[in-house]
Amino acid sequence: MQLTIKTSAKTEMINITGQVQEALDLEHFHNGICMVYVPHTTAAVTINESADPNVTRDILMILNKVVPWQADYRHIEGNSPAHIKASLMGASVMLAVEKGRLLLGTWQGIFFCEFDGPRTRKAHLKLLSNEGSILHH
């Protein structure tokens, strides 16, 4: 399964929790592990607070300070900060699924992290069921 994510800024975090849950619903996936994997070198995925949008704003503000746009970078493409941020945040997250629902905490959301947008991106979903051959539809 694959999600398509259209980003609209150079750097942003997009809540994809609804899209992931929708994909699980379509597959009638009830119990197991859902891995979200981002096949990009300048984008990432992470889990953090989705209640207050200032949390992702603050994360990006500090990431931009830790990894400045101007430095003695050698990468010819000129987007080394995006590559570094992608590695800091990571390319995948694993989520537990129970009774068809993502086992996220009350304040948690899954965020696609764009570091060199805007672009059309993707995320792969891989599902590992712990129900053996028994289907619960």
Q: What are the residues binding Zn ion (CB under 5 A)?
A: 77, 79
- Alpha-carbon distance values, 43 to 30, 34, 47, 48, 92 (Å): 29, 19, 14, 16, 10
CB of 24 or CB of 43, closer to Zn ion: 43
Whose CA is closest to 96, among 1, 20, 23, 31?
Answer: 31
H/E segment holding residue 85: helix 80-89
Taking CB positions, which residue lies at the least distance from Zn ion? 77
Smallest gap from Cβ 75 to Zn ion, in A, equals: 5
Smallest gap from Cβ 41 to Zn ion, in A, equals: 7
Helix (H, G, I), strand (E, B) or coil at 69: coil
Smallest gap from Cβ 78 to Zn ion, in A, equals: 8
CB of 77 or CB of 98, closer to Zn ion: 77
Smallest gap from Cβ 79 to Zn ion, in A, equals: 4
CB of 29 or CB of 115, closer to Zn ion: 115
State whether the Cα torsion 137-122-108-8 is positive or negative: negative
CB of 77 or CB of 131, closer to Zn ion: 77
